[in-house]
Structure 1
Amino acid sequence: MRIDIIAPGRVKERYLRDAIDEYAKRLSRYCKLEIIEVADEKTPDHASEGVERQIKRKEGERIARHLRQDATIVALAIDGKQLSSEELATKIDRLGLSGVSHIQFVIGGSIGLDDAILSRADLRLSFSRMTFPHQLMRVILLEQIYRAYKINAGEPYHK
């Protein structure tokens, strides 16, 4: 299985980069992982709705260049479907069994994803109704993908 994580911006904090690297290393046993970073837009304080839409559109266009027609696209969205770790594991397993060999997870920037990206998604996934920093979300997502592979392999993983 090939898994892409597509997200705007670079992770600047060393502790987050270390965690991302650790989960990427762990996942290398189970899948081919690629993290694709696209340029992000600076969001001014107190930006109007119009400015925010424009920022989402620009970031969305950059993300769209990397979306593949043959991939299952999972967009992280606060209004998406919430799954347990076991349900995510089952989803990944069933996609693989049905012949899907490429999953692309898309994380939005600081103000979320453009509607054009959300409408292309095969699944909108929510980790919570709470808001998380988009850079931290990469670590959380990678941990859950790793947990899913451990569950599917019947291997122990701390709770």
Structure 2
Amino acid sequence: MLLHIVARGKIGRSPEADLVTRYLKRMRWPTRLSELPDRGGKVPDIEAQTRIVMLDETGRTLSSTDLADQLALWRDDGVRETRFMIGAADGFDAQDRASADLLLSFGRATWPHLLARAMLAEQLYRATAILAGHPYHREG
């Protein structure tokens, strides 16, 4: 299953970009990163068997293990792509949120978009490591 991050805003050359690259390169699952301008731009076409996850402050807070379990369920159900959407500074509107398969939150704090992208890449790496039985993730 493809893990596809679609983010508003350009990350450029930055420490956050280095983190995103580091985690995406470590993953054994196929990944893709698409950047869109802050406003407008064409969202890549959504193929059949795609799940949409939007990072949103109103979303669910999942443990790393819970995220891994959700990805495993979708993978085992034949989902081809899970698309993780990171919106612009004003987030997503109600219609967008209603169309998502999952609203995901990194807690009640507001995170800068570049940092949220790095956090998402790390959590995706961690989730795939959990599913692979890799020692990167240890339950406390």
Both proteins in one fold, TM over 0.5? yes
Report the equivalent of 1:83.
62
Q: Which amino acid aligns with 2:8?
A: P
Tell me the TM-score normalised to structure 2 length: 0.90
Alignment partners' CA distance in 2, 1:152 and 1:146: 10
Offset, 1:82: 1.1
Offset, 1:158: 5.2
Matches of residues 68-147 of structure 1 in structure 2 within 5 Å? 68-147=47-126
Offset, 1:118: 1.4
Tell me which protein shows more helix as a share of its residues: 1
Alignment partners' CA distance in 2, 1:90 and 1:158: 14
Name the larger-Rg structure: 1
Offset, 1:24: 1.4
CA contact (8 A) 2:51 2:81 kept: yes
Number of matched pairs:
138
Flag as ranges the 4+ runs of structure 1 deviating above 4 A. none
Unpaired stretches in structure 1, ≥5 consecutive residues: 42-57
Please provide the CA RMSD for this pair.
1.7
SS of the residue corresponding to residue 117 of structure 1 reads helix
Distance change in 2, residues 1:150/1:141 (3 Å): same
Unpaired stretches in structure 2, ≥5 consecutive residues: none
1:8-35 CA distances to partner (integer Å, 9 max, x unpaired)?
11003521111111111101x2x11111
Alignment partners' CA distance in 2, 1:66 and 1:38: 13
Report the equivalent of 2:9.
9
Tell me the TM-score normalised to structure 1 length: 0.80
Alignment partners' CA distance in 1, 2:82 and 2:17: 22
Q: Which amino acid aligns with 1:25?
A: K
